[in-house]
Amino acid sequence: MRPSFLYPLFASPSSVRGVGDKYAALLENLGIGKIIDLLWHLPYAVNDRRRAASVHALKNGEINTVLIRVIEHIAPKSRKQPYQVLCEDEAGNELTLVFFKAYPDSIRKNLPEGCERLVSGKTELFNGRWQMSHPDYIVAPENGWQIPEIEPVYGLTAGITNKFICRLVQHALSLVPPLPEWLETNHQKSLNLPSFAEALRRAHHPRSGNDPPPA
């Protein structure tokens, strides 16, 4: 019979706040029917979101994070055109944030003119100008901690985002109780092996972008 302290790990993801039956059904497409399944849904790569010093330091076609000031909102002239937000770094180097099928009111609320924001997402050079389409993160500088420096990347399915999976994995890890180790203590220490719970945590939290993803 299963010990009662393991019950939370065998609950449905729908029991987690903000998930519900709709997202639980989508998670089934990833083989995640119980919260414990999230522990074995390991990342296959990482995003390096460490902050760049300036727009000039951005890497073309890669994930970048940079501090900008919002200069101007440029509304599209037709539905086929994107909504654009012209920004600059401290040195005046330009970065344009691009939004397709946008909700202007929401964008203006998150990016009021004159404000500073940390933005993180894939940047590209387009016609000699830097742009970032649909940033993954837009936060005030004092909330920069909300952007993970090294972010695990998980296998996804339609309707499920990487942020969503990251949040659920964190919840699953918090439910792992202290468990007796099945390796002899001396053997574990001689090989410098972590505990089972710590091994799971490390697998989901690579220390740097140079760490290989778990197999």
Here the CATH number for the domain that contains residue 103 is 2.40.50.140
pTM: 0.82
d(CA 61, CA 42): 25
- Of 47, 52, 61, residue with least CA distance to 123: 61
Q: Are 98 and 84 in contact (CB under 8 A)?
A: yes
CA 13 vs CA 6, 51, 122: distances in Å: 14, 33, 30
What is the predicted pLDDT for the residue at 124? 97
CA 28 vs CA 40, 42, 177, 204, 215: distances in Å: 14, 16, 24, 20, 22
Q: Do 163 and 184 sit in the same domain of this protein?
A: yes
Tally of domains in the chain:
2
Q: Does some domain include residue 125?
A: yes
Is the predicted pLDDT of residue 207 greater than 90, yes or no?
Answer: no
Q: Do 66 and 97 sit in the same domain of this protein?
A: yes
Q: Do 64 and 108 sit in the same domain of this protein?
A: yes
Residue 114, SS3 per DSSP:
coil
Q: Do 63 and 118 sit in the same domain of this protein?
A: yes
What is the predicted pLDDT for the residue at 97? 98
Q: Do 37 and 88 sit in the same domain of this protein?
A: no
Range with lowest mean pLDDT among 41-45, 151-155, 196-200: 196-200
Residue 132: which domain range?
50-146
Is the predicted pLDDT of residue 215 greater than 50, yes or no?
Answer: no
